[in-house]
Structure 1
Amino acid sequence: MKILDNRGLEPPQPMMRTLAALENLGENEILTIINDRRPMFLYEQLEELGYQQRTEQQSDGSFKIKIFR
């Protein structure tokens, strides 16, 4: 499992970093990202690219998103 911490970054940096990391993701790997806010625009991109995601809001207000095929 790969973890990408996008907290503290201004849009569109979190989405750009996430999409770049997905290019190197293996077929059965999971990419976990941590964002300050819910990545609404990323969800559309993931769907177009054939990825699924599970989003969990964390107690500190951030969001943990697991991305997989």
Structure 2
Amino acid sequence: MKTIDNRGLEPPAPMMRTLKTLEKMENGDTMAIINDRRPMFLYEELDERGYLHETEPLEDGSYKITITKNGE
């Protein structure tokens, strides 16, 4: 599983970086991202595209979001 560490980046860079990586992935592939905060606008985009996502808070206060590419 590919992991992208978006910590330290200012919005919208984490979202743009994540969506660009998802475009290159095949349906059914899973990736994880680590963000400083919950990516509320990314959630909307993922839901709209039909991708599955799960968020897990990490001990350092950041969040790990696991995304499975489904749909188009």
Same fold (TM over 0.5): yes
One-letter amino acid matched to 1:51? Y
In the alignment, which residue of structure 2 is the partner of 1:57? 57
User: How many residues of Structure 1 are paired with residues of Structure 2 in the alignment?
Assistant: 69
TM-score by length of 2: 0.92
Where structure 1 has 5 or more consecutive residues not aligned to the other structure, the ranges are none
Runs of at least 4 residues off by over 4 Å: none
Once the two structures are superposed, what CA deviation does each residue of 1:34-59 show, in whole Å capped at 9, x if it has no partner?
00000001000001111010000000
Identity %: 61
Counterparts of residues 7-26 of structure 1 (less than 5 Å): 7-26=7-26
Alpha-carbon separation, structure 2, partners of 1:36 and 1:65: 11
Residue 26 of structure 1: how far off its partner (Å):
1.5
TM-score by length of 1: 0.95
Where structure 2 has 5 or more consecutive residues not aligned to the other structure, the ranges are none
